[in-house]
Amino acid sequence: MGRTFRGVTRTLGDLGVTDQKDWLRHRTTCGRTVLLSTAASSPFWNRLSCLLVALLVANQAVAQPSASRSANEDASKSLQSCFQVPEAWRNSYGEYKSLLIFEDGTRVTAADQWPRRRAEILASWERLLGKWPPLITEPEVEILESIRRENFIQHRIRFAWTPNEKTTGYLLVPDGDGRRPAVITVYYEPETAIGKGKPYRDFALQLARRGFVTLSLGTTEATAAKTYALYYPSIDHAEVAPLSMLGYAAANAWHVLASRPEVDETRIGIVGHSFGGKWAMFASCLFDKFACAAWSDPGIVFDESRPSVNYWEPWYLGYHRPPWRERGVITEENPARGLYPKLTAMGHDLHELHALMAPRPFLVSGGSEDPPQRWQALNRTIEVNRILGATDRVAMSNRPQHGPNEASNELIYQFFERFLK
């Protein structure tokens, strides 16, 4: 019996097959079974092998795209649903103040007025957080080691990310030509994101597999010392809130990526989980050259009922000179110190920073610290985007646990593919 494939019919008789005595073994290559013969050098067996391989490859090309397309479509639909505010939280703002009111009490009513209002918000936060040192726009990058992994080269690099401190991270450059999108990943140390840590925190590795240039960074030394963040000019006399300095370091890392010939500087994003989520949020909000961002369960607003939404700690927004307050929730015996209690007393909250993203897109990958109720804060940025005529710029997914999982991470990757590729 012949088999028709894309209009071509072949039979074993066409190739003169009369018995099976020469077929002795088989092997699997790239997931496909290829039949081999001891007479592989004969024209007959060459023709047969080529035909079978062609049929198997082409058959997979026909059979799999529909399944692949279906999976991609499902993921795309799932991501799209993240931009839809659940009915329970639609037009609900809680106690989060509108960001469309100028300091003089007038209201933003047109898109061309937003840059002035945005400048007010940014200047207000810069006064509170402390002014960044000049950015390091022409970085000197030292490559310490380069190894081949899968479809990319992994470089271990060192560069200055503050005026007085260098860091070591991992630059993953996938095979290919031309300028490509890139993503910075931030965490307690840089090894986790390249696949050498807890599961489902390997953002740099997974994105590199998908063709993104990635740069994995972390505060290795500070984490070992349990001071976690960056302190400028020193931990004894920090002039910038430590969480803001982390944002500054990420902005300098943006310049490292932008200087690479493989990277399109208009398509650089940032992602982080928990501590890294706070870091990614402040970096992307305060530095507008990040094209988009994904924040995994950082606690996107102040919430003193959640011990992990601990912006009051000295390494975030509660810096004070050592010795530091005892780590933990705020109590009468162990009050918050530094900038944090001033921010809350003045009525500030982090939704003000979120609005600095508009109209750049961002995804909140919410877990236990960022439940659906956070839409009340996010609705204020949606309100800003509405004035700008921008839709589908604010997204949130939700899971019960703090830790990311395969499904929540897939949405992150789909998000970057949608907005950076």
One-letter amino acid at 314 equals: P
Domain end residue (candidates: 73, 100, 135):
73
Q: Are 111 and 389 in contact (CB under 8 A)?
A: yes
Length of the chain, in residues: 421
62 and 104 together in one domain: no
Q: Are 187 and 272 in contact (CB under 8 A)?
A: yes
Cα 414 versus chain centre, distance:
10
205 and 311 together in one domain: yes
117 and 45 together in one domain: no
- Looking up residue 209, the CATH number of its domain turns out to be 3.40.50.1820
8 and 147 together in one domain: no
| pLDDT given at position 259 | 98
178 and 217 together in one domain: yes
Pairing outcome for strands 32-37 and 23-29: antiparallel
Domain residue limits at 69: 3-73
Average pLDDT over residues 75-102: 95
The Cα–Cα gap between 139 and 163 comes to 11
| pLDDT given at position 57 | 37
Q: For 200-252, what is each residue's pLDDT tens digit?
A: 999 999 999 999 999 999 999 999 999 999 999 999 999 999 999 999 999 99
Domain end residue (candidates: 24, 56, 73):
73
Q: CA nearest 290: which of 353, 365, 348, 376?
A: 353
69 and 115 together in one domain: no
57 and 36 together in one domain: yes
Q: Are 232 and 164 in contact (CB under 8 A)?
A: yes
140 and 39 together in one domain: no
> Residue 76: pLDDT band by 50, 70, 90 thresholds?
confident
191 and 46 together in one domain: no
Domain end residue (candidates: 73, 95, 121):
73
51 and 115 together in one domain: no
120 and 35 together in one domain: no
Tokens representing 130?
Answer: 């402390």
Helix, strand, coil % (nearest 5) of the chain?
A: 35, 20, 40
Question: DSSP strand E in 231-315: where?
Answer: 263-273, 292-296
Tokens representing 417?
Answer: 């593919």
| pLDDT given at position 66 | 55
pTM of the model: 0.84
101 and 66 together in one domain: no
Least trusted range by pLDDT, from 66-75, 306-315, 323-332, 371-380 = 66-75
Q: For 10-33, what is each residue's pLDDT tens digit?
A: 333 433 443 443 333 333 333 333
* 418 CB-contact burial (10 Å; exposed 0-12 / middle 13-18 / buried 19+): middle
Domain tally, the chain: 2
